[in-house]
Structure 1
Amino acid sequence: MDASPELFVTLPNRVRICYQTFGDPSDPAVVLISGHSCSMHQWPEDLITLFSPAGDRHYLIRFDHRDTGLSTEFPVPGGYTLSDMAGDVEGLIDHLDLPSKGFHLVGASMGGPLANIVATRRPEQVRSLTLLYTSPGVNAERPLKQGAMGLAADPISIGISNFRQKYIENEMKLRAALATQPPSEEERRENEVQIAKSMDRELRGGTLHSKGPNHGAASFAGWPGVEMLKDIKCPATVIQGAKDQFFGVVHGEALAKGIPDAEYLLWEDVGHELPKRVWSRFAEVLLRTWKKGDDGSTRDSETKE
């Protein structure tokens, strides 16, 4: 699968976004939206390959949010909202000239509300929406799981001495806390390599220390809620982990109930994670959802003609 180098675009809002594309631009486009404090590396290349099998090719785009990877670093506090971050997604979409052909959105965790915002702003362009381990927003009816806030640690709290090793160890502990089954030794080593690679990249980009507080502040300022979900017009699939350590089942149920005709999948064997053992299952769900969206777009075009 052809992969571009890491590319850069400065958007009209003056935010510089680092992104990478996979596949042929003439194929159906998919934008992968990462979660809180996560760069494009949340979507590993080996996983992306599964999203474009022979006979069902796709043009896949992953990118660094502002304050992650090599995208723009903001001061702390950043002073931006999830709506602003969704605007970054839209700016990248426009830069790649995707509105003319339509595109699919996949949002993980905090990437979920960003995808929802884009889907409501651009109902004629978004072909499908897939949401995983996410929420319409936290409130009294949909609280965070008890102890969830203690799972993440600010890199600043790790200290200066042996920072690199301590950071990697901290991130490995977080992944272990989110894992519902112990990873294989091979997967554990791969996780450690990926964490080190992402950390070195964010040290180079200057975003390692700004991502946590700034994304946290944007989240704290408010997620979109359920009211906007009724305005999503495309086929949608909601994947909820039964053992999600942040968002209990009520969060996924609220999304599926709020989005018209959404498909709801409750995976009993996963939490707030996307381990290798479910990659094939996840790819199958995506390909099925994208087909629904593409088929619907074709019918709409024929009707208009």
Structure 2
Amino acid sequence: MEASPEQFLKLPHGGRICYQTFGPHAGTPVLLLSGGGQSMLSWHEDLIAQLASALSQSNPSSPPSSSSSPARDYLFVRYDTRDTGRSTHYACLDDEARRRYTLDDLLADALALLDHVCAGVENAARAAHLVGFSMGGATAWMLAARHPHRVRTITLVSSSPVGPAGDVATGIPSVDEATMKRVEAVARPTEGEEWMTDREAVVRFLVGFEEACMGDEEERLTDEERRGAEESAGWAFDRAARVVRDAKQEMGDEDQRKGSKSQDNGRLYERGEERANVSSFFNQAGAAWAAWPREELRRVACPAVVVHGDGDGNVPLRHGEVLAEEMRGGGGGEGDGGAGPVATRQRARLVVVRGMGHGLRRRHWGVVVEEVRRVVAAAEGAMRG
């Protein structure tokens, strides 16, 4: 599949988003939204290839697919959210500093990126299919609620209507105790230099943290999965380390354009770019644990499907059940309804995956791919018919 190099979008607030696209620029966008603290690497290239193949086979306007003929009708977009990967890193300070941005800001970033990748494309193609994992799912359903003309479908994987804090008053539990204990037991690098210099310690933490979130014993990493997780964690460390170099390059380019040293670019360093490292993802805790706008779910009218594991301890299954119950979008299967204004008022479809914990494990990709295919086929079929 045709893949772009990693690119940057400068945002109005001065930060930058690093993103990558797969497929033709004129294709219908499929925006992949990562979970809290995750970079674009959580959407593995092999998973994107499987999604492309499935959507190509579902779309009659696409040529027959083969290993040498990837989907030509969809543009897959993955990106580093704030404080992850090569996007802007903020200084890791105290809890108050970590509340400097909210889900609203993360939503604005996603919408700005969608506007950017759709620039110059006919208006009909500016609406996207959204696939969101965990907190990325919240960004997806908030976009669908607030900007319905920009969203064709949403697929929510291991997501929530209220966030990991839960809502005990209405029967939505918080993170379960066993999961919390596993997460707290994972050895972290010491604050400061070790996050920047000890690649092995950071990789060990990231893999341990990922596994602690997975669920019961059936969800422990196999040897092959562990090797893949370690490789991805190493890439995450390396990409975060590039932020300093990226920032210096941007400063140099800006100075060259202005013909003098730019004081504005010094703010990159005030935000913490000079010490960028993987631990910046903890800054997203403020957005994750704040109250999510559950009341907006009823405004989601596009075809929607919720995929959730019954072994998820971070975001227990009840979160997924409530998502499906409170969205009024179509059920997401062929013939279940259409996009936008033609969507039915039935609840969104819920798909429960036995034993799945909180993670996009390769062994569960097939379920996610099939559900994305089904909900996209429902929307595209309604628009054609």
- 1:89-100 correspondence to structure 2 within 5 Å: 89-97=110-118, 100=123
Match of 1:251 in 2: 319
Q: Which is worse superposed, 55-64 or 244-253?
A: 55-64
**Is this contact kept in 2: 1:131–1:239, CA < 8 A?**
yes
CA 1:188–1:156 in structure 2 vs 1: closer, same or farther (change >3 Å)? closer
Match of 2:241 in 1: 203
Give the deviation of 1:211 after TM superposition: 1.7
**Is this contact kept in 2: 1:73–1:210, CA < 8 A?**
yes
Q: Which is worse superposed, 102-111 or 276-285?
A: 276-285
Partner of residue 362 from structure 2, selected from 240, 252, 276: 276
Match of 2:373 in 1: 287
Match of 1:302 in 2: none
Partner secondary structure for residue 124 of structure 1: helix
Q: In the aligned structure 2, how far is the partner of 1:269 from the partner of 1:166?
A: 29
Match of 1:163 in 2: 198
Match of 2:167 in 1: 139
Give the deviation of 1:15 after TM superposition: 2.5
Alpha-carbon displacement from aligned partner over 1:111-149 (angstroms, at most 9, x marks no partner): 111111111121122000000111111211212222444
Amino acid at match of 2:201: K
Match of 2:288 in 1: 219
**Is this contact kept in 1: 2:130–2:151, CA < 8 A?**
yes
**Is this contact kept in 1: 2:213–2:314, CA < 8 A?**
no
Task: Report the TM-score when normalising by structure 2.
Answer: 0.72
Aligned residues: 297
Give the deviation of 1:23 after TM superposition: 0.7
CA 1:120–1:278 in structure 2 vs 1: closer, same or farther (change >3 Å)? same
Q: In the aligned structure 1, how far is the partner of 2:148 from the partner of 2:42?
A: 26
Say whether 1:267 aligns with 2:353: yes
Alpha-carbon displacement from aligned partner over 1:86-130 (angstroms, at most 9, x marks no partner): 100000011112782111011101111111111112112200000
CA 1:202–1:155 in structure 2 vs 1: closer, same or farther (change >3 Å)? farther
Amino acid at match of 2:46: D
Match of 1:8 in 2: 8
Give the deviation of 1:154 after TM superposition: 8.9
Structure with larger Rg = 2
Partner secondary structure for residue 152 of structure 2: strand
Q: In the aligned structure 2, how far is the partner of 1:121 from the partner of 1:271?
A: 30
Partner secondary structure for residue 375 of structure 2: helix
Q: In the aligned structure 2, how far is the partner of 1:74 from the partner of 1:184?
A: 34
Q: In the aligned structure 2, how far is the partner of 1:184 from the partner of 1:220?
A: 31
Give the deviation of 1:163 after TM superposition: 2.6
Q: In the aligned structure 1, how far is the partner of 2:302 from the partner of 2:143?
A: 12
Runs of 4+ off more than 4 Å: 152-156, 158-162
Q: In the aligned structure 2, how far is the partner of 1:224 from the partner of 1:157?
A: 35
Task: Report the TM-score when normalising by structure 1.
Answer: 0.90
**Is this contact kept in 1: 2:219–2:357, CA < 8 A?**
no
**Is this contact kept in 2: 1:33–1:115, CA < 8 A?**
yes
Q: In the aligned structure 2, how far is the partner of 1:154 from the partner of 1:229?
A: 37
Give the deviation of 1:158 after TM superposition: 6.4
Whose helix fraction is larger, Structure 1's or Structure 2's?
Answer: 2
Amino acid at match of 1:208: V
Q: In the aligned structure 2, how far is the partner of 1:149 from the partner of 1:269?
A: 18
**Is this contact kept in 2: 1:128–1:292, CA < 8 A?**
no
Alpha-carbon displacement from aligned partner over 1:149-185 (angstroms, at most 9, x marks no partner): 4416695546756732122112222233234334332
**Is this contact kept in 1: 2:307–2:368, CA < 8 A?**
no
Partner secondary structure for residue 51 of structure 1: helix
Partner secondary structure for residue 215 of structure 1: helix
Say whether 1:173 aligns with 2:194: no
Q: Which is worse superposed, 71-80 or 284-293?
A: 71-80
Partner secondary structure for residue 222 of structure 1: coil
Partner of residue 183 from structure 1, selected from 202, 206, 221: 221
Q: In the aligned structure 2, how far is the partner of 1:104 from the partner of 1:154?
A: 38
Any unmatched runs of 5+ in structure 1?
300-305
Q: In the aligned structure 1, how far is the partner of 2:144 from the partner of 2:105?
A: 15
Q: In the aligned structure 2, how far is the partner of 1:281 from the partner of 1:113?
A: 20
Any unmatched runs of 5+ in structure 2?
60-70, 244-275, 329-346
Partner of residue 127 from structure 1, selected from 152, 157, 168: 152
Q: In the aligned structure 1, how far is the partner of 2:313 from the partner of 2:223?
A: 23
Over the matched positions of the two proteins, sequence identity in percent amounts to 34
